[in-house]
Amino acid sequence: MATILSVSGSPSATSRTARLLRHLDDRLRAHGHDVIPFDVRTLPPEALLHADFRHTAIVEATALFERADGIVIGTPVYKAAYSGLLKSLLDLLPQYALAGKTVLPLATGGTTAHVLAIDYALRPVLNSMGPAHITPGWFTLDKDITVGDDGTLTVSPGAAEALAQVTDQFSLALGGRPTLLAATG
């Protein structure tokens, strides 16, 4: 099937955004895809802040984008926009780093006041990078994502259903196995 790069733009090591992405990665694997998780926060800060296109870590990150058929971009929303960390990486990628790719934008945030951050902040930047298709994204409220003491992720039923739907649409756009849609709900 397809190779998917699952990108977390959260600066936090205990990020709900990253945990949610890893949860969705499992769903995409169940659809038969090869998923590569990638946390932007693991890149060297000096490479991002100094726009060092030639830094080994930036070159390697760029190669991950080139290799992928599909990209899941997840970000927390701060001040009605996607994270500055994610912006730093996107600025270092080639202009058409998403050319020919299918993209699924996802965001998390504390209030529904930020629900349009995907469409008004993130989607235009992603679109400028030349993807073949940007599937419908989803905004998940922080309160709908809980992490137990044992690290188990729980997503509220309404949010889980919506996330499953947009993830499955993304998978189908990449040629995923549609027979799993009902079985993995």
pTM flag (> 0.75): yes
Report pLDDT digits (tens) over 43-57: 999 999 999 999 999
107 with 21: CB under 8 angstroms?
no
Token digits for 176? 């995923």
Among 12-16, 35-39, 95-99, 100-104, which stretch is predicted with the lowest mean pLDDT? 12-16
Could you tell me what percent of the chain has a pLDDT over 70? Answer: 95
Q: Within a 13 Å sphere around the CA of 56, how many CA atoms are in the beta-carbon half? A: 0
Cβ-contact 171, 25 below 8 angstroms: no
The DSSP output letter for 14 is: T
Distance CA 59, CA 102 (A): 21
The residues spanned by each domain of the chain are 3-183
Tell me what pLDDT residue 175 has: 83
pLDDT of the residue at 177:
63
| DSSP 8-state assignment for residue 11 | -
Residue of 68, 2, 66, 64 whose CA lies nearest to 39: 64
Cα–Cα distance, 76 to 12 (Å, whole number): 10
73/135 Cα distance (integer angstroms): 11
Phi, psi at 149, each rounded to 5°: -60, -30
- Three-class secondary structure of residue 172 per DSSP: helix
Amino acid at position 155, single letter: V
User: In CATH, what is the architecture of 3-183?
Assistant: 3-Layer(aba) Sandwich (3.40)
What tens digit of pLDDT does each residue of 125-160 get?
Answer: 999 999 999 999 999 999 999 999 988 899 999 999
Q: Are strands 145-147 and 153-155 parallel, antiparallel or unpaired?
A: antiparallel
